[in-house]
Structures are given as C-alpha cells and as structure tokens.
Chain A
C-alpha cells in the first residue's frame, strides 16, 4: 500500500517546495506593500530562460550564480520602474501596473524565444535518477523540500535578527510611522524584491530541473498556485506560505492518486474560495484591527 502512495507523496512534497519558494516572494511583497505582485510568476519564468541561454555559452557552475544575479536585477528593475513611481497612488493602480508588467514580460519572452518550448539544460547530479523503495525519481525531488526549508529558516532569521529585518517588520506594521521613524522605505522595499526574486530564481532552477521545458507562459500556473498557497497560509506570513504550499502540493497529488485527475486544479482554486469564505486571514494571517 505504502509502495503505491510513495511516488505521489514524493512528487507532492517536491511540487510543494517549488510552490513555497514562489509563494514566499508573493507573501513578502504583500506583507510590506500590500501589493499582489502579478509579475512574480513571470520573473520565475524569465529565470528559466536566463539559464537556457546562459548554458549555451557557459558551464553550469557559472550559469547558476549568473542566473540568480540576473533575476535579482530584473526583480529590482521592475520594482523601480513600475511600482516605485506609484508609491502614493491608490493601491489599485499599482496592482494594474503589476498586471501590465506581467504581460509585458510574457510577450517579451514570446518575442525573444519565438514562442517555442526550450529544453532546460541538464544540471549534473541533481538531474540524476534515484530509487527510494519502489519509487524512482530525480535527486532534485528530494533536494527541493530540504533546500526550501533551509532557505526559509535563513530568511526568517534575517527578518527576526537583523537590522534590515527589523525595518521590514516595522514597514509591514505601519508604512507611514516607519517612514517618520527614519526608515528608508525605498531600500527596504528593494530588499524585499531582491529576496523574493532570489528565491524565485532558486525555485526556477529546481522546478525546471524536474520539468525540463521552458515556455513563456510556463510560470503562470505555478505562480497562481503559489499565490493560492500564500493566501491559504495567511498572506504576509512566511511560515504560513510555506506550509500552505506543501499542503497544496501534496493534496493535488493525492487527488490525482484517487483518480480525480481532472479536478486537481479545480481543487486548488475551490480551496481558495473556501478559505476566503471561512477564514479570510488564512492559517497564520494576522487579524487586522481597524485603526481609528
């Protein structure tokens, strides 16, 4: 019995880890800017394409750090160009700007790549097959959840222990007061985007090592599900996003195992609706009290 369930659990945990790395990017930006960064999934896709193109010229060991740097630069630039000028504008305008960036990135990638799927390069060792019990899978499937948890612990430590972390917490509690207390809002926000993009880049390396074809719209579905995970865990809460992502990843695969393959996506979004109805703040979300 366990033999039969094991492959589903493995892929569930692996998918969950990938959603988690994207979800953290969503939840951090939301926590600080109260903005749902719709372009996040496309930054994740762009990281995939960076790797495809860099690997044609450079060895993998150099490509991976370069991909991370380029992705961070892209995330930073998007924030500076599309979100920063709208800092004092209504929140809806920033949201629409985010949707615009998302489509711009998608179409740019479409234009550059000609719209065809690109084969992701094989990264030595992590793309190898490994057998656990009766299930055969890739090494990356096992690395993903471990690396995700390590990265998240590191991130939580940064937020709890460092000065910039303290600034982030202050900004997320009260934007204006933090500004009055002398916190440089812009650098805090930039840092948030840099961390989010960094995790998206790592997530993309793990994701595409498992699912090796990159298309301009490939980030849309994982992006959307990571967003659901962030809401499920309580948007703004990092551990919440991670736990939400793992739950969604595992549930999806269990539903497929039960034979309801057609409904696995529907389940994810039905879950979103149910959560919004019964627990709008999610599993670990903070209760917001109206300030007078």
Chain B
C-alpha cells in the first residue's frame, strides 16, 4: 500500500514538475523598487504586470507557454544592479525588461550580454545603454533628443537666454541629459550655467540662489524624484519665480505632491499622454489599465495612490509586448535566438509604432511636454514636439 502510494505520488510529482517546467517562459523584470528611483520603478513594473495580465501566454513551436515574471529590485544603485542582474540570469530568464534609470541598465547590461540574455529598456534614455551593449534594445526616445526638445521649449515658451543647469555628479541619466540640453541651448545662442551636486545632498538652497544670482531665465534640473521633491520644496519656500524644467523622470506623482499648492512653474518632456486620443491602442490601454489599477489596491498604491497613467507604465507595457513578439518571431525561448529575432520586430505600441535601428534604439521621434498643475494636482498637456519640427 505504502509503496503504491509513494509511486503514485512520485509519478504525480514528476508529471506536475515536468509540465510546470516545460510550459513556462520566464521574463525578468529588472527594476528599482527602492532607492532614489523606487517610485518610478514601481510604476514601470505595474505596466509590465498589467501587460502580463492581458497577454499571459505565448505560443512557441506550436506549444502554449505560460509567461512568468521574475521581478528583482536593483535598488537604483549601480553596485546593487549587477547582483540583481545576476539573480535574473540565475533564475533562467529568456529575456529581461527594464530598468528605470540608465545607470543601472548599463551596469546590468554586461551581465545580460555575458549570459546572452537580451534586454529591452523601457524608459532608460541615455545613449550608452544600447550603444555600449549588444544585448540591449529600448522602446523609448533618447536623451540627445529629449535635451534638444527641452532646450527649444525653454527658448520658445519662456524666451530664455540664460539657463541654469543642475545635475547629479556621477549619475549617468542626469549628467547625460544635462549635457545634451546645454549643448542644444548653447547652439541656439543661449548661455548656460552648469553646476553639479553630489549624491546625498539635502540642501539645494545654495544652488537655487546661484541660479537667481546668475541671472538665469530657466532652471533645467533633470534629477531623480527624491531629489526633485526636496528641490521643489525649497524652491517654493524661497519663492523662486524661475520655471523648473526637467526630463521624463519628473512625470511622477512625487512631483505633483511636492508642488501641490505652490506657485511654481514645472514642465517636463515625457513619452506618453493618457488623454491623447489619436491612437486607439493608447485609448484602449488607458481604459484597461485604469480599471485594472482600481481593481487591485496594492497596484494602485504602487502607482502613488491614484489612477493617473504614468508614461513609464505605458512603456513597460510596450516593452512586454515587444518581448512577446520577439519570442514568437524567434519561435524559441532561448535568449540568443530571441536576441537574433528582436531587431526584426515591428509593432504598434501604446506609445507609438516601435521598430529598431541598428544600435537597438526604437525609432521614436515625438515627445510630449507637460506642466504640473499645482491646483488640480495633475499634469496638464502642453504640446507635442517631433524631431522634424526641431530641424526646421
């Protein structure tokens, strides 16, 4: 009796175990859930999780595989990112999505390349992410474009002649974007005052005073959201009248909370606008995503407690869909095969059509500029800007 039971049990277990192993494809989610960029990372993750709930399976070789997300926290730190990336590789993921933050993406890139696991960046905008790593692709636009867009906006909208540019020393995203902004702004005949702060700085009043004393017309400060909340708070208590401009990172509820009730002007460029109804994919995504958020209390908390659709969530969704397409195109769950198929993938995502150039960047040519409304505590859409318009 005992023997039969044991045998039956073993049989069940092998069957179950084998079937569970054979029919699952793992997608790694390489995002910060803590540290300076934790808030944004969590929003990107929920975009990916929503995509997973919409398309939970993928067909490979005539067999249906369940998609399992393996989520790790890279803590927004380049030193922690390497071990987080290694954790994903050890878990046997076929493809990786993320990360929010260019620095951590570059740090993880080497690990993925060594393991021949392709990675798709959702919102990392530094050119180095893809150009320095053969296994990295991305679905968003790049910092040279974003910096140029904001430089033009500063000149057109505010008639700025002098810009104060503030970035964090040693952070790939902020220094990169600040450099491209400064370059574009100087090419248009403007003057740039460049200053940098070190990680862990809490007092920004001296920097803001420098901006005012330096005669700046705008402040460009593409910092992390943690720094942004301090910066906005101090700017408000100092009654700074200069507009604060930043990059995609600032499109976050952290910014809205900090700016609430102040008289500051805060504008940023971003990838997506939830009220843009020109695309059916986007409209459908916004509707579905909001319903999903409102049905899952913990996901809503991760979104900052509201159902405003962040651009990074939309990019997370798109990156997941591109990954699924790539797995289908490769007809394999092997990382190397997927990497080979990725460049050929062309889809229409919620943030626009996605196809890759030879470096691995998406051919994106449009940015949305938004303004933080300090009364309604929401982002107001200002305008869209394309590369073509800039060239004129």
Contact = CB atoms under 8 A, between A and B. Distances in A.
Interface in A256-275: 256-257, 259, 261-262, 264-265
B206 A213 contact: no
Interface string B227-257: 0011001101111000000000000001001
B254 to A, nearest CB: 7
Contacts of A135: 238
A203 B236 CA distance: 22
B13 interface: no
B202 A8 contact: no
Interface residues of A, number: 38
B110 interface: no
A115 interface: yes
A218 interface: yes
A149 B258 CA distance: 31
A212 B205 contact: no
Interface string A232-270: 000000000000000000000100110101101100000
Contacts of B196: 261-262
Nearest to A3: B213
Contacts of B239: 129, 131, 136
B38 interface: yes
Interface string B201-213: 1110111011001
A218 B226 CA distance: 11
A7 B254 contact: no
B237 A136 contact: yes
A211 interface: yes
Contact of A115 (B35, B197, B203, B236): B35
Interface in A3-30: 4, 7-8, 10-11, 15
Interface string A197-218: 0000000000100111101011
Contacts of A218: 200, 202
Given A213-B230, A220-B200, A257 B238 contact: no
Contact of A211 (B33, B198, B202, B225): B202
B34 interface: yes
A166 interface: no
A8 B208 CA distance: 10
A222 interface: yes
Nearest to A136: B239
Contacts of A115: 33-35, 38, 73, 75
Contacts of B195: 259, 261-262
B20 interface: no
B297 to A, nearest CB: 15
B34 A253 contact: no
Contacts of A212: 229-230, 233
Given A119-B257, A217-B200, A262-B169, A253 B230 contact: no
A264 B198 CA distance: 9
Contacts of B258: 119
Ranked nearest first, the 10 interchain pairs of A and B with the lowest CB-CB distance are A115-B34, A256-B206, A211-B202, A221-B200, A7-B209, A11-B205, A136-B239, A117-B226, A116-B38, A261-B195
25 contacts: A7-B205, A11-B203, A11-B205, A11-B206, A11-B209, A114-B33, A114-B34, A116-B42, A117-B39, A117-B225, A119-B258, A136-B238, A210-B234, A211-B202, A212-B233, A213-B229, A213-B230, A221-B201, A222-B202, A256-B206, A259-B210, A261-B196, A261-B210, A262-B197, A265-B198
Given A211-B233, A257-B209, 5 more contacts: A115-B35, A115-B38, A137-B237, A220-B200, A261-B210
Interface of A: 4, 7-8, 10-11, 15, 110, 114-117, 119, 127, 129, 131, 135-138, 207, 210-213, 215, 217-218, 220-222, 253, 256-257, 259, 261-262, 264-265
